[in-house]
Amino acid sequence: MTHGASFDVPASERLDPTKYLRKREGSPGGLKLKPKREEGSSPRIAAAPGSPPAKPQRSSLFWRMYDRGDLPVRVEQARHNTIRWTVELSSVDLHYYFPIFVDGLLETQEPYRMLAQRGTEELVAGAAAERLLPVIPQLVMGLRAALRSPRDDTIQSALAVLRLLVASGPDAGLALVPYYRQLLPPLSRHISDNLNLGDRMDYAQASHRGTLGDLVLATLHALERGGGADAFHHIKYQVPLYESCLRPSRVARKA
């Protein structure tokens, strides 16, 4: 009795099971693809000591334009935390540049962060109220992104801009009312936040210290005072814990 010829079967390569996708994850070839670093993404720095881990934020147009020399502002080397405009402030095209500066509030690396905060503050202070009003709708998305940031100092910067806008003219607060739905929901999470901001520099309001909840409340008070007769109801709808600064509270009425 003869036996059939034997064949050497090469051992198959064992693939790493962790490289395969789970059901419905879908990818050509069924292998996990390593996420690529987005080209042109904003430079990153380590979070400040004691701050919660920062989640990735979208890339800011501000730093790219500054590095290309496309913004009419520079760091004033002779003075600390000061900026220098390369054109007359009154001639800056607010429709074009102001949304870019507000977008820059998301920056975490210097000098971009300082430039964006100082620049935003000076654009509000240096522009006539009638020039600011038409630009407010263009600022909403940038302010909303900053208010939703996981970083307390970024939220603080956006709150300062809102207060500056309300104070810029009698109609600015009214112009913000239609955008409460986009701007105020993030504040509902922080109105009772008593986490102290510490010594981190706030370029827009360097003298204002307190908890994040205090700054949220101060901003809501400014919006109510400048937003007209119905401002409180619109704020209350978005921030249920808010109590009016212009009318007696429920506790006072019961007393």
User: For residue 46, is it within any domain?
Assistant: no
17-45 exposure pattern, b = at least 16 Cβ within 10 A, e = fewer: eeeeeeeeeeeeeeeeeeeeeeeeebeee
Residue 17 in domain: no
pLDDT at residue number 190: 86
pLDDT digits (tens, 9 = 90+) for 9-25: 556 666 666 655 555 55
pLDDT of residue 204: 43
The boundaries of the domain holding residue 185 are 56-254
Amino acid 23: pLDDT: 56
Using DSSP, state whether 47 is helix, strand or coil.
coil
Q: Would you state the pLDDT for residue 201?
A: 44
pLDDT of res. 2? 52
Q: Residue 221 CB: number of other CB atoms within 10 A? A: 17
Which of the two residues, 46 and 80, has the higher pLDDT score?
80
* Interatomic CA distance for residues 180 and 88, integer angstroms: 33
Taking only the tens place, the pLDDT of each residue in 158-181 is 999 999 999 998 899 999 999 999
* 243 located within any domain: yes
Residue 187 belongs to a domain with what CATH number?
1.25.10
Residue scoring higher pLDDT (132 or 195): 132
Please tell me whether residue 83 adopts helix, strand or coil conformation: strand
In the predicted structure, residue 138 carries a pLDDT above the cut 90: yes
Overall average pLDDT of the 199-216 stretch: 62
10, part of any domain: no
pLDDT > 50? residue 109: yes
> What long-range pairs does 30-38 form, CB within 8 A, spacing at least 24?
none
Q: Where are the beta strands (DSSP E) in the chain?
A: 73-75, 83-85
In a domain, 18, yes or no: no
Alpha-carbon Rg for the chain in angstroms:
26
Handedness of CA 116, 122, 125, 129 (dihedral sign): negative
Over the chain, what is the mean pLDDT? Answer: 78
- Any domain includes 88: yes
Residue 97 placed within a domain: yes
pLDDT of res. 42: 47
**Joined tokens for residue 147:** 């208010």
Q: What distance in Å separates the CA atoms of residue 124 and residue 92, rounded to the nearest whole number?
A: 11
- DSSP conformation class of 255: -
Number of domains in the chain: 1
Average pLDDT, integer, range 225-253: 81
In a domain, 38, yes or no: no
* 71 or 39, greater pLDDT: 71
Indicate if the alpha-carbon torsion angle 10, 16, 19, 24 is positive or negative.
positive
